[in-house]
Amino acid sequence: MPIKCNLCEAGAILKRPKTGDALCKNCFYFAFEEEVHKTITDANLFVRGETVAIGASGGKDSTVLAYVLKALNQRYDYGVNLVLLSVDEGITGYRDDSLETVKRNQQQYDLPLKIVSYEELYGWTMDAIVKQIGLKNNCTFCGVFRRQALDRGAILMKVDRIVTGHNADDIAETVIMNVLRGDIGRLQRCTAITTGTEGALPRSKPFKYTYEKEIVMYAYFKKLDYFSTECIYSPNAYRGFARAYIKDLEKIRPSAIIDIIHSGESLSVKKAVKLPTQGTCERCGYISSNPLCKACILLEGLNRGLPRLGIGKSHKERRKLNEMLAQKEEAGNEKTTPDNSTETTENASSEKSATGSPKQKCENCSCGQKCLSEKVEDLQLDRRKIDPTLIDF
Amino acid sequence: MCSVQEGEDVSPARKEKIVEERTCMKCEKKAVLVTRVNDAFCKECFMVYVTHKFRAAIGKSKLIRDGESVLVGVSGGQASSCLLHLIQEGLSGRAHKKLRFKPGLVFIDEGATIGMSAEERLANCTQVLEIMEKTGFPCYLKALEQAMELEKEAFTNTADQTDTASVTSVENLTKLHRYDKAEEELLALMDSLKSVSAKEDLIKSLRQKILIDLALKKGYSKVMLGDCSTRLAVQLLTDIAQGRGAHVAMDTAFADNRCNDITIVRPIRDFSSKEVAMFNILNNVPSVFIPRITTKAADSVSIEHLTERFVTGLQAEYPSTTSNIMRTGEKLHTEKKSSSENQCAICQAPLDTDVPPSSALSAVRFSETVSRCSSVTLSIFSTDTACCGGGTCQSEGQKESECCGQGDGSCQSKESKLTRDEVESALCYACRLLIKDLGDVSKLPKHILDDISQRQRRTKMKSEIEDFLLDPSNTPD
């Protein structure tokens, strides 16, 4: 005997991953959209008349987000202008394909689109970065750079708010990951639905309580087209452990994902614990909790051939660097060319030549000819002479 | 940034050096074991290290005073046997500075939950009691089913711990006292909980209730538990996964003061399970293995089981995992609510269901409503009404108490039955998940239901006089 839909009299064609109820197609669309609408109205995410940029990667979350926001904007009249914003990290074989999807989305939903690339902004593509640093810790570079790239692109489009397609599974993974890493500052902030209200553009997550499986189900039944492959550089990310744990948890108890988010929201930190305070970067003016923002430090490291600057514990890196300096002194002050080995920092002579000459930079980034670092200088990063004391070791 | 970056060049070297070649890091003599990642110890230095950590944990907290009575929960397993041994050493005259508190030991027999036969349960109890008696402290024996028929009691300071009538000893133990009715009730409750995670959660809460109850009756002001850091790290993640984020700090801190009169302390919370095992081997500490509900179960049968596998697996690759988790727990705290009405009826922790509209709890409620009720009733949805779970619902009508009679005016009920909504309103988020499985809420232990009924009556009282109460903070408890 066919199962009946819970809400109407039609036959049910799916079981909701979130609550296990049997629903027909239209009632599922209704339930899904109503939940997103409630999330938006309860948190007062949108203000009438503002421009909202949707971070579009071409993947399932951003495709469905664009579709649903457009529909809800019309149905409930939020009165916002929607635009699409996409970031090109320069990963061949992965990003090119997903960018095609975004361009298709732009035509289908009739929304203006802007693409910003790491190449223009920083002078480095992810492919080049991975050649320098290897397959571990590359996610750090991509994440830090993408955050700034989104903000810069949004400023160019004169946008008031950014929305991203982070879903409930993502937030649950972040909570678990921050507990495992002991990052109290992030743990406190990661469950907030809107982050970054002072200084940078606010960014919100309307899909905060939406399960990943439901997003896929929605896209499947509505026949929305998206690009779905894992990033080729991500298999060793630490987040993978948290993700596997959450997938297993979901099998035992489907509500576990929302339970983790509830736990994250109920956490309270002891007053005595020191949390990072917000300031601005001295070089580029972006928000930062240290004198130099992470992107500047990482970029500095890449350009000087010290790709691990900014990754790992700074006192250990400094110790390694000092050891290497000592070794080089014994070997007789030979200037070594940096090789592309990923784990140790080789370029000891950069400590001595405080102002790195442009020619040295060229050997490190993978461009053969004219180094892009001059182009980067022209752009936005205000490159003063490199002063080691400013770099927060 | 986690993950051992320099791991590649360090770990091959580590694997080649075996213990025989290493010297103790303190005294340079031959090392016998390795704790943590690289720390080798000889036997004497290890004992000094362990004893010092134990005493420091107790001393730093300044909670345990001279002459205080402390109830020690002994499960027979490795960690609690280690704790027992440390307490014995600490109290004996030989110690450097004698510990000064008066311990009493209690063992809770949980055999009913896994369907152990009476002989097996007797055998286990005898074994554990023998170990406990060698210490010479007063010993008590309780069964988990006694939690179903607890009576609420006030704290008595003058109770006599040497009251020999209740102290059990091995000679008297020829037959276990059977609490048949309670055992049936417990089994009925266990059966109606479908998921193993819910069962485990319930056992944990019942166990705690028995300990607190015994401490109250016999005048112990503290309860000491033998939880090592590995177990507490697993507990922390399990709590987060079940929605107990607000209570994480209480469950894993040194001192847990959820009950107003009794404090639960965990002196060996800094010991990894490896250190506990090494200690037991070096000192020939006897322990008894008693199977639990998840022993030899299939992988990921319950949340705690899965989390244990996850944490121990991660710990093998990244040795700082458990200490990271514990440190995160130390930086969190739980807000303590003033009155007992703000405590969960099952787990005694402060309620965390007072949430703003933009939150996970209201999102869950909304999802349930939107998937089960027809769209007509959505317009009258408010965050206060929980969905009744039925097909077509009229959400306004649920608050009225239903008539128990036969429609002719006769009243049939002798005692009013609590509705599901009323029970839920007195529980924290995670305990609500626990009873979600439960078909019939009246299967819960009587004292919990009584507690909830009392709260309902008080809430009614308060709503009648609400207009005349001057300041919310002046309300008497």
Q: How far is CA A50 from the centre of its chain?
A: 23
Cα nearest neighbour of B363 on chain A: A209
Mean local confidence (pLDDT), B349-358: 84
Closest CA to B396 of B375, B410, B382, B411: B382
Lowest mean pLDDT among A1-10, B149-158, B197-206: B149-158
DSSP for B35-47?
A: ETTTEEE-HHHHH
Mean local confidence (pLDDT), B147-176: 59
What does residue A51 show for φ and ψ, rounded to 5 degrees? -100, 130
Measured CA to CA, the distance from residue A245 to residue B357 in angstroms comes to 29
- Residue corresponding to tokens 């000491």: B224
pLDDT higher than 60, residue A355 = no
Each residue's pLDDT tens digit, A202-242: 889 999 999 999 999 999 999 988 877 777 777 777 888 99
Q: What is the pLDDT of residue B26?
A: 82
pLDDT higher than 50, residue A135 = yes
Lowest mean pLDDT among A120-134, B19-33, B451-465: B19-33
Partner A contacted by B4 (CB < 8 A): no
Return the ∠ at Cα B235 (arms to B233 and B238), rounded to 5°: 115
User: Sorting pLDDT into bands at 50, 70 and 90, what band is A340?
Assistant: very low
Pick from A4, A6, A193, A259 the residue to mutate for testing the B interface (most B CBs within 10 Å).
Answer: A259
Flag if A259 and B430 touch (Cβ within 8 Å).
yes
Flag if B370 and A31 touch (Cβ within 8 Å).
yes
CA distance B47 to chain A (A): 30
Partner B contacted by A253 (CB < 8 A): yes
Helices (H) and strands (E) in chain A, counts: 16, 10
Measured CA to CA, the distance from residue B388 to residue B109 in angstroms comes to 38
Instruction: Tell me B294's DSSP state.
Output: T
Pick from A15, A246, A263 the residue to mutate for testing the B interface (most B CBs within 10 Å).
Answer: A263
Give the up-direction half-sphere exposure of residue A142: CA atoms within 13 A in the CB hemisphere: 23
pLDDT higher than 50, residue B293 = yes
Q: What is the pLDDT of residue B376?
A: 47
Within a 10 A sphere around the Cβ of A129, how many other Cβ atoms? 27
> SS3 breakdown of chain A: % helix, strand, coil, rounded to 5?
50, 10, 45
Report the complex ipTM: 0.83
Question: Quick one: what percent of chain B has pLDDT higher than 90?
Answer: 22
The token duo for A335 is 């200037």
Measured CA to CA, the distance from residue B247 to residue B350 in angstroms comes to 8
Flag if A266 and B352 touch (Cβ within 8 Å).
yes
Measured CA to CA, the distance from residue B319 to residue B118 in angstroms comes to 42
The token duo for A355 is 């102002």
Q: Per mean pLDDT, which of A231-235, A380-384, B136-140 is the most reliable?
A: B136-140
DSSP run (H or E) holding B72: strand B68-73
Measured CA to CA, the distance from residue B42 to residue B35 in angstroms comes to 11
- Residue corresponding to tokens 């007063």: B138
CA distance B115 to chain A (A): 23
DSSP run (H or E) holding A137: none
Q: Which CA distances in Å does B202 have to A365, B212, B365?
A: 59, 15, 23
Measured CA to CA, the distance from residue B272 to residue A47 in angstroms comes to 52
Helix axes A239-252, A168-181, angle to 10 degrees: 120
Q: What is the pLDDT of residue B435?
A: 86
Measured CA to CA, the distance from residue B183 to residue B112 in angstroms comes to 7
Measured CA to CA, the distance from residue B203 to residue B206 in angstroms comes to 5
The token duo for A114 is 């802007």
Q: What is the pLDDT of residue A66?
A: 92
Measured CA to CA, the distance from residue A33 to residue A40 in angstroms comes to 11
Return the ∠ at Cα A317 (arms to A314 and A321), rounded to 5°: 135
Residue B371 with chain A: CB contacts under 8 Å: 6-7, 16, 18-19, 21, 23, 31
User: Where does residue B130 fall: left (phi above 0), alpha (psi -120 to 50 degrees), or beta otherwise?
Assistant: alpha
Q: Which residues contact B356 (CB under 8 A, 6 or more apart)?
A: none
Residue B372 with chain A: CB contacts under 8 Å: 6-7, 19, 21
Q: How far apart are the first and last CA of chain A?
A: 69
The token duo for A129 is 């970065």
Q: What is the pLDDT of residue A368?
A: 41
Average pLDDT over chain B reads 80
Q: Which residue would you say has higher pLDDT here, B182 or B373?
A: B182
Partner A contacted by B328 (CB < 8 A): yes
Each residue's pLDDT tens digit, B168-224: 565 556 666 777 888 888 888 888 888 899 999 999 999 999 999 999 888 899 999
A 140-159 residues with CB < 8 A to B: 140
Of the candidates B9, B244, B433, the beta carbon closest to that of A343 is on: B9
Flag if A8 and B239 touch (Cβ within 8 Å).
no
Mean local confidence (pLDDT), B296-318: 89
Measured CA to CA, the distance from residue A354 to residue B37 in angstroms comes to 38
Q: How far is CA B108 from the centre of its chain?
A: 13
Mean local confidence (pLDDT), B11-30: 66
Flag if A266 and B324 touch (Cβ within 8 Å).
no
Partner A contacted by B157 (CB < 8 A): no
Measured CA to CA, the distance from residue B33 to residue B10 in angstroms comes to 20
Instruction: Tell me B441's DSSP state.
Output: G
Flag if B372 and A6 touch (Cβ within 8 Å).
yes
Partner B contacted by A370 (CB < 8 A): no
Mean local confidence (pLDDT), B33-43: 83
Average pLDDT over chain A reads 78
Starting at the edge strand that comes first in sequence, how are the strands of the sheet with A161-163 ordered? A113-117, A81-88, A51-55, A161-163, A203-204, A194-195
User: Does residue A133 contact residue A341 with C-beta atoms inside 8 Å?
Assistant: no
Partner B contacted by A181 (CB < 8 A): yes
Pick from B251, B364, B370 the residue to mutate for testing the A interface (most A CBs within 10 Å).
Answer: B370
Partner A contacted by B344 (CB < 8 A): no
What does residue B170 show for φ and ψ, rounded to 5 degrees? -65, -35
Measured CA to CA, the distance from residue B371 to residue A6 in angstroms comes to 7
CATH domain B43-339 topology: Rossmann fold (3.40.50)
Partner A contacted by B11 (CB < 8 A): no
The token duo for A288 is 């930062």
Q: Which residue would you say has higher pLDDT here, A284 or B319?
A: B319
Q: Which residue would you say has higher pLDDT here, B408 or B328?
A: B328
User: Does residue B246 contact residue B98 with C-beta atoms inside 8 Å?
Assistant: no
DSSP for B106-132?
A: EEEE-GGGGT--HHHHHHHHHHHHHHH
Q: What is the pLDDT of residue B397?
A: 37
Strands A81-88 and A113-117, bridge-based pairing: parallel
Residue A258 with chain B: CB contacts under 8 Å: 360, 363-364
Q: Which residue would you say has higher pLDDT here, A272 or B472?
A: A272
User: Does residue B188 contact residue B148 with C-beta atoms inside 8 Å?
Assistant: no
Flag if A184 and B333 touch (Cβ within 8 Å).
no
Strands A161-163 and A194-195, bridge-based pairing: unpaired
Residue A38 with chain B: CB contacts under 8 Å: 363, 366
Q: Which residue would you say has higher pLDDT here, B224 or B440?
A: B224
Q: Which residue would you say has higher pLDDT here, A172 or A379?
A: A172
User: Does residue A21 contact residue B372 with C-beta atoms inside 8 Å?
Assistant: yes
Mean local confidence (pLDDT), B312-327: 91
Partner A contacted by B242 (CB < 8 A): yes
User: Sorting pLDDT into bands at 50, 70 and 90, what band is B336?
Assistant: confident
Measured CA to CA, the distance from residue B308 to residue B300 in angstroms comes to 9
Cα nearest neighbour of B376 on chain A: A7
Q: What is the pLDDT of residue A382?
A: 41
Q: Per mean pLDDT, which of A103-112, A303-312, A354-363 is the most reliable?
A: A103-112
User: Rg of chain A over CA atoms, in angstroms?
Assistant: 23
Q: What is the pLDDT of residue B3?
A: 46
Q: What is the pLDDT of residue B223?
A: 93
User: Sorting pLDDT into bands at 50, 70 and 90, what band is B416?
Assistant: low
Burial of B3 (0-12, 13-18, 19+ CB in 10 A): middle
Lowest mean pLDDT among A53-57, B43-47, B116-120, B386-390: B386-390
CA distance A178 to chain B (A): 9
